[in-house]
A and B are shown apart, each in its own frame.
Chain A
């Protein structure tokens, strides 16, 4: 009994933590299905007395949420696919290709990690304005396509690729590009999946940058649209919650489907020799 006590305690604590984390999400889902005003009664009900999809209908019909959803999807998938290409290639190059100034450039990049993102927002906006990308999807995507963190993540993983594997492909007749495509990318797959999820989550959930760069209402992404919605419908918590469900659901699903790779990616490096 005494030997089992610590296990009970740990499991109990984990259950408590899981419930505390899940409760707001479940309540969000529950409230989104209640009729208008039901959530504001006292005491607040946990489950809806009557189920309704009216808020979802209104979001898509009157509030154009479908449009914002599409915007978010375009920005997140665009940023994710480009980020995989650029961070993947740069990370591999920093790990495995020999070129002049490699270490110096990499150290400079690492130093750049210390600069908070907020500090760069005004110059970044100026830069994108100069490039004519303000109020366009490209303006929302471009800042996310190469990140120091992404390059670093891929580089650390790519360091574990044996040089002999690359040399074997070179002797076998592969050009550097073919070598990257046919040998390096498959070997990097776990870390690329992880990076893809990181970038997708970050761009999907990002509020600040789309707010700054996308001024046209038709261009707005879900989090921004949801925020303006809440300003217009301060009282309507049920409608807000339905909007929140639509925002959270895709990333939640993505995470559940890919968590196997995600966890493996986070552990990358810790278990390798």
Chain B
């Protein structure tokens, strides 16, 4: 196993399009790092550069202690799992698994032993003589994983390996990949557009947007302390609610947004970078940080807002409550309870200490 180190890695295509604008980060030996971002953000290009399938325009890439910028894929000692499985259609499962070992001139007895071990790990024993076309999607994905596993590479690269599976299979394969990682203690880079996958699998997550790294941190830190507006909006489902407006300190601390005001904690405002902001700010509020005030329970009354119910979507253990406030839809995540009908008013209480503040112009986090 080995770590991976990127320093200012940049990819510019021949047509001038910048796919990755200077990525620097390090994956420790045995770590599982998820690369996440919307489609077209450069995450797959970044992974392909690490695999050696795309050239690196500028910057350096180390696998272990070795600089591999100009090393062809076959000499990097990496394995990759593709979204489309990419199994060799004319080979049986056994031949698919053995192909990489055969190319490396491993002797037959060892190939056989390693193939059998990988097949046992992924429960492919019964399928070894089948051709890929005779396998289900989940089985194919397991063969693709096995093909990576069997070589015992220094680094595993996984490019959206679960996106072609249905929801139920995706969940079980996700668990399987996590278990595999814990067992092998392998260095893994995992590309996905699905933030749940990234959050559940990644020990750390690299969030990408438009070719730029937005933040690198643990899943919980990304959720609780997003570095900017993009990360705040991308991580978390339903997404964070944003309130755009100007700060006012007198007569009391509040955000003045389209036709409404949001009370803010004065102490927090005064003590931070917020005090010096001249332009508009955006206040972020997670859906679960909002609660419904029941009749007669007005709380301290200060940190509440009056909204109109748009829709009520119970999913069993909780309810997604969509309301209209300051001319925009906001989502709240509340425990099961009787709620007003759509069109009726509702009073919501929020937790002021959990609010996030962003500069509306640059998107950077203020407090």
Chain A interface (Cβ < 8 Å from any Cβ of B): 162, 164-165, 167-175, 178, 182-183, 186-187, 189
B293 to chain A, nearest CB (A): 53
Judge whether B80 and A168 touch: CB under 8 Å: yes
Judge whether A173 and B86 touch: CB under 8 Å: no
- 8 tightest A-B contacts by CB? A172-B100, A168-B86, A173-B103, A164-B86, A186-B90, A173-B74, A164-B82, A171-B80
Judge whether A172 and B99 touch: CB under 8 Å: yes
Can you give 29 contacting A-B residue pairs, CB < 8 Å? A162-B84, A164-B82, A164-B86, A165-B88, A167-B80, A167-B82, A168-B80, A168-B86, A168-B87, A168-B88, A168-B147, A169-B88, A170-B53, A170-B74, A171-B53, A171-B74, A171-B78, A171-B79, A171-B80, A172-B74, A172-B79, A173-B103, A173-B104, A174-B74, A174-B103, A175-B74, A178-B103, A183-B88, A187-B89
Complexed CA–CA distance, A52 and B89 (Å) = 53
B164 to chain A, nearest CB (A): 11
CB-nearest residue of chain A to B14: A98
Specify which chain A residues have a CB less than 8 angstroms from the CB of B79 in the assembled complex.
171-172
CB contact list, B64-87 vs A, under 8 A: 72-74, 78-80, 82-84, 86-87
Complexed CA–CA distance, A165 and B99 (Å) = 13
Judge whether A172 and B83 touch: CB under 8 Å: no
A211 to chain B, nearest CB (A): 42
Specify which chain B residues have a CB less than 8 angstroms from the CB of A182 in the assembled complex.
99
Complexed CA–CA distance, A41 and B74 (Å) = 75
| With A171-B51, A173-B104: A164-B83 Cβ-Cβ less than 8 Å | yes
The 8 Å CB contact of A171, one of B73, B83, B89, is B73
Specify which chain B residues have a CB less than 8 angstroms from the CB of A172 in the assembled complex.
74, 79, 99-100, 103, 147, 151
Specify which chain A residues have a CB less than 8 angstroms from the CB of B73 in the assembled complex.
167, 170-171
Q: Contacts A165-B89, A167-B51 given; 16 further ones with Cβ under 8 A?
A: A162-B86, A164-B82, A164-B86, A167-B48, A167-B86, A168-B80, A169-B88, A170-B72, A170-B73, A170-B74, A171-B52, A171-B53, A171-B80, A172-B151, A174-B74, A186-B88
Tell me which of B79, B80, B82, B86 has the highest count of chain A C-beta atoms within 10 A of its own C-beta: B86
Complexed CA–CA distance, A102 and B78 (Å) = 30
Judge whether A164 and B84 touch: CB under 8 Å: yes
Complexed CA–CA distance, A260 and B87 (Å) = 26
A148 to chain B, nearest CB (A): 27
CB-nearest residue of chain A to B51: A171
The 8 Å CB contact of B90, one of A162, A169, A175, A187, is A187
Specify which chain B residues have a CB less than 8 angstroms from the CB of A169 in the assembled complex.
88, 99
Specify which chain A residues have a CB less than 8 angstroms from the CB of B99 in the assembled complex.
169, 172, 182
Complexed CA–CA distance, A147 and B52 (Å) = 34
Complexed CA–CA distance, A167 and B103 (Å) = 15
Complexed CA–CA distance, A186 and B132 (Å) = 14
Tell me which of B72, B74, B104 has the highest count of chain A C-beta atoms within 10 A of its own C-beta: B74
CB contact list, B289-321 vs A, under 8 A: none
Specify which chain A residues have a CB less than 8 angstroms from the CB of B86 in the assembled complex.
162, 164-165, 167-168
Specify which chain B residues have a CB less than 8 angstroms from the CB of A187 in the assembled complex.
89-90
A271 to chain B, nearest CB (A): 16
The 8 Å CB contact of B82, one of A168, A175, A183, A189, is A168
Complexed CA–CA distance, A183 and B103 (Å) = 12
CB-nearest residue of chain A to B85: A164
B335 to chain A, nearest CB (A): 45
Specify which chain B residues have a CB less than 8 angstroms from the CB of A175 in the assembled complex.
74
A187 to chain B, nearest CB (A): 7
Complexed CA–CA distance, A172 and B150 (Å) = 11
A168 to chain B, nearest CB (A): 4
CB-nearest residue of chain A to B74: A173
Specify which chain A residues have a CB less than 8 angstroms from the CB of B84 in the assembled complex.
162, 164-165
Complexed CA–CA distance, A259 and B78 (Å) = 44
Complexed CA–CA distance, A170 and B151 (Å) = 14
Judge whether A167 and B53 touch: CB under 8 Å: yes
Complexed CA–CA distance, A183 and B99 (Å) = 10
B177 to chain A, nearest CB (A): 18
Specify which chain B residues have a CB less than 8 angstroms from the CB of A174 in the assembled complex.
74, 103
Tell me which of A169, A170, A171, A186 has the highest count of chain B C-beta atoms within 10 A of its own C-beta: A171
Specify which chain B residues have a CB less than 8 angstroms from the CB of A162 in the assembled complex.
84, 86
Complexed CA–CA distance, A168 and B99 (Å) = 11
Complexed CA–CA distance, A183 and B78 (Å) = 20
CB-nearest residue of chain A to B157: A171
Specify which chain A residues have a CB less than 8 angstroms from the CB of B151 in the assembled complex.
172
Complexed CA–CA distance, A189 and B89 (Å) = 12
CB-nearest residue of chain A to B159: A164
CB-nearest residue of chain B to A166: B86
CB contact list, B240-292 vs A, under 8 A: none
CB-nearest residue of chain A to B153: A171
Specify which chain B residues have a CB less than 8 angstroms from the CB of A183 in the assembled complex.
88
Complexed CA–CA distance, A171 and B158 (Å) = 12
Complexed CA–CA distance, A175 and B75 (Å) = 10
Tell me which of A164, A165, A168, A174 has the highest count of chain B C-beta atoms within 10 A of its own C-beta: A168
Complexed CA–CA distance, A112 and B78 (Å) = 44
